Amino acid sequence: MEKELLIKRLAEIVGEEHVATEKEAVQDAAKDYIGYRQFQRHSGHNMVNLASCVIRPQNTEQVSEVLKFLNENKVDVTPRAGGSSVTMSIEPVEGGVIIDCSDMNGIIEVNEQDMYVTAKAGTPLDAMEKQLNEMGYTAGHFPQSLPLASLGGLVATRSIGQFSTLYGGIEDLLLALEAVMPDGSIIRIKNVPRRSVGPDLKHLFLGSEGMTGYITEVTMKIFKYRPETWWMKAYGVQGMQTGLDLIQDIMQEGYKPAVVRLHDPVEVENVIKIDAPKNTALLLFIVDGPEKVVQATGEGIDEIAKKYQAMDLGRKPVEHWFATRNDVCYTYIDQPVYYNMGAVVDTCEISANWSQIGKIYNAVRGRMAKEIDNLYLVGGHSSHSYTTGTNLYFEFAYIAKDHDPQAVEDEYFKVLTIIMEEVLRYGGSIAHHHGSGKYRTRWMPKEHGSSYELMYKIKDALDPNGIMNKGVILVDKEEA
Ligand SMILES: Cc1cc2nc3c(=O)[nH]c(=O)nc-3n(C[C@H](O)[C@H](O)[C@H](O)COP(=O)(O)OP(=O)(O)OC[C@H]3O[C@@H](n4cnc5c(N)ncnc54)[C@H](O)[C@@H]3O)c2cc1C
């Protein structure tokens, strides 16, 4: 469709002042924080496709009218919320339209009897959490991107927070939602504690990354907020595997601490920098809940830690982590700190069962040391644990050999491929919580195996014109 006509009609629907067409604004809306894109930007290369415009609808009805129009004209759509993507998920198709929900912002209802909050999709999580805290509640969802992300994006990515071992991921917290389908129809999924009336349709949107519809309203559980009861303790153990075994024991004994983190010796030495014997891995725990439960859980953790000869490091390292846990949002992302060192730095989160996770950790580190000759470091941490397994958050840095943008991309994917291949070899999942975005899509057929075909069927049924966020999750059919 001709650009001028497209912009004119969109301005009629959402208002001229809510349509941005300037190159800078359009590029800014598509800005992603994946390590190599940041490096390319700092070296003066913005390699992202240019959308025709970014629009900010003011309400659900406008989203509906916009999608109906774009669908009829087969114009590509990229949904956007807080813009904290690290997976290139908000990078548009050339000439497409970015629909930003950030003007649809605010709490609609806090229900203290039924313990839920309903808010518009563009509501920043941070603002919602602060409002809830003032009322004595919490949403229990604390991703590191808390200062950046908004509700629509958090649902669409299947996000998870730092207190997940108690509260769960967003899929455990989401009660209900409203969304606009690509043809403009508005659907609502109602708020009940549980039901058995067919598959749970919320899952068509949880982790959809904007490829099934546009989320406009979200209802989440709330919990009593009582940080004054928190039990905090740090331990040092010899080596990563000892730490993994210790967490496995805690989870399988039935304890439910909120925060369970294990930083490997590489992170302890290079990132956390505590004074500890060589090869120390650091465990951090926060237990949240009613006082009696907190006390009993703390005692249980202490007892198990002793079995593993863990060094008791007290509360201080946990307090320090808690106070600085989201600083990266202000101090590192999009800053030229690493670029000035010539380094590409990033993280990659995966998951696997307890029987495999240690093997993946060793295999990835072993291969990187052998195959990436400009490697600066590769380490990681586990931060979300279950009775069956845990996640690993690989952290890696290497010195870029070349500043040519294509070379930067190729080098990045050489590193990433090692992680993807080893995770798949050991039967893990290649994405624990950031999603596929547009950079892990090529591994999705192997990730899903024989069930991948269902993903195309869902997409074809819900978005037959294929306008919604092309490039996430689904490999072009011919390439699959
Ligand atoms: C420093 C940093 C730390 C991070 N830490 C965490 C963490 O601890 N846990 C975690 O899970 N993630 C983390 N992330 C990743 C990111 O913050 C999450 O993926 C977050 O959920 C994205 O939310 P957002 O509002 O920024 O969405 P955006 O980045 O705007 O969009 C993300 C995806 O959601 C889709 N989308 C956005 N809005 C809508 C809508 N209204 N309807 C349908 N689809 C939509 C987009 O198309 C895209 O696919 C981190 C990122 C950074 C930069």
Domain co-membership, 119 together with 213 = yes
Domain co-membership, 19 together with 64 = yes
Q: Please report whether residue 163 resides in a domain.
A: yes
Domain count, the chain: 3
Spatial separation of the C-alpha atoms in residues 176 and 289, rounded to whole Å: 25
Among candidate residues 224, 248, 270, the one where a domain is terminated: 224
For residue 137, the domain's CATH number is: 3.30.465.10
Helix (H, G, I), strand (E, B) or coil at 67: helix
Q: How close is the Cα of 292 to the center of ligand 1, in Å?
A: 36
pLDDT at 46: 96
**pLDDT tens-digit profile of 46-95?**
999 999 999 999 999 999 999 999 999 999 999 999 999 999 999 999 99
Closest residue to atom 2 of ligand 1, CA basis:
145
For residue 52, the domain's CATH number is: 3.30.43.10
Q: How close is the Cα of 7 to the center of ligand 1, in Å?
A: 27
* Index of the ligand 1 atom closest to the CA of residue 101: 41
pLDDT at 480: 62
pLDDT at 186: 99
Domain co-membership, 250 together with 289 = yes
pLDDT at 114: 98
For residue 282, the domain's CATH number is: 3.30.70.3450
Return the residue matching tokens 């924080």: 33
Q: How close is the Cα of 87 to the center of ligand 1, in Å?
A: 9
Q: Please report whether residue 171 resides in a domain.
A: yes
* Index of the ligand 1 atom closest to the CA of residue 155: 21
Spatial strand order in the sheet of 174-180: 107-111, 116-120, 214-221, 174-180, 186-189
Spatial separation of the C-alpha atoms in residues 418 and 368, rounded to whole Å: 7
453 contacts: CB under 8 Å, gap ≥ 6: none
Q: How close is the Cα of 261 to the center of ligand 1, in Å?
A: 22
Domain co-membership, 317 together with 232 = yes
- The H or E element containing residue 29 is helix 23-29
The ligand 1 site (C-beta within 6 Å) comprises: 33, 78-86, 89-90, 101, 121, 143-145, 148-150, 152-154, 156-157, 159-160, 209-210, 214-215, 328-329, 333, 433-434, 469, 472
Angle between helices 291-307 and 240-253 in degrees, nearest 10? 140
Q: Please report whether residue 243 resides in a domain.
A: yes
Query: How many degrees, rounded to 5, is the angle at CA 327 between CA 326 and CA 333?
Result: 100
Domain co-membership, 40 together with 128 = no
Domain co-membership, 87 together with 154 = no
Domain co-membership, 124 together with 158 = yes
Closest residue to atom 44 of ligand 1, CA basis:
210
Residue 473 is encoded by which pair of tokens? 């999750």
pLDDT at 25: 98
Domain co-membership, 235 together with 208 = no
Domain co-membership, 258 together with 282 = yes
Q: Please report whether residue 95 resides in a domain.
A: yes
Q: Please report whether residue 439 resides in a domain.
A: no
Positions in the chain whose pLDDT score sits under 70: 479-480
Spatial separation of the C-alpha atoms in residues 149 and 172, rounded to whole Å: 18
Q: Please return the burial class of 387, using the count of CB atoms within 10 Å of its CB with bins 0-12, 13-18 and 19+.
A: exposed
Closest residue to atom 9 of ligand 1, CA basis:
143
Domain co-membership, 252 together with 188 = no
How far, in Å, are 124, 156, 225, 319 from residue 222 at the CA level?
Answer: 16, 19, 9, 24
Closest residue to atom 36 of ligand 1, CA basis:
153
Q: How close is the Cα of 303 to the center of ligand 1, in Å?
A: 38
pLDDT at 274: 86
Q: How close is the Cα of 277 to the center of ligand 1, in Å?
A: 37
Closest residue to atom 11 of ligand 1, CA basis:
159
Q: How close is the Cα of 209 to the center of ligand 1, in Å?
A: 9
Domain membership of residue 128 as a residue range: 107-224
Q: Please report whether residue 55 resides in a domain.
A: yes
Among candidate residues 205, 224, 243, the one where a domain is terminated: 224
Domain co-membership, 150 together with 240 = no
Among candidate residues 179, 194, 224, the one where a domain is terminated: 224
Q: How close is the Cα of 274 to the center of ligand 1, in Å?
A: 31
Whether the model clears a pTM of 0.85, i.e. scores above it, the answer is: yes
Domain co-membership, 176 together with 258 = no
Q: Please report whether residue 395 resides in a domain.
A: no
Q: Please report whether residue 468 resides in a domain.
A: no
**pLDDT tens-digit profile of 459-473?**
999 999 999 999 999
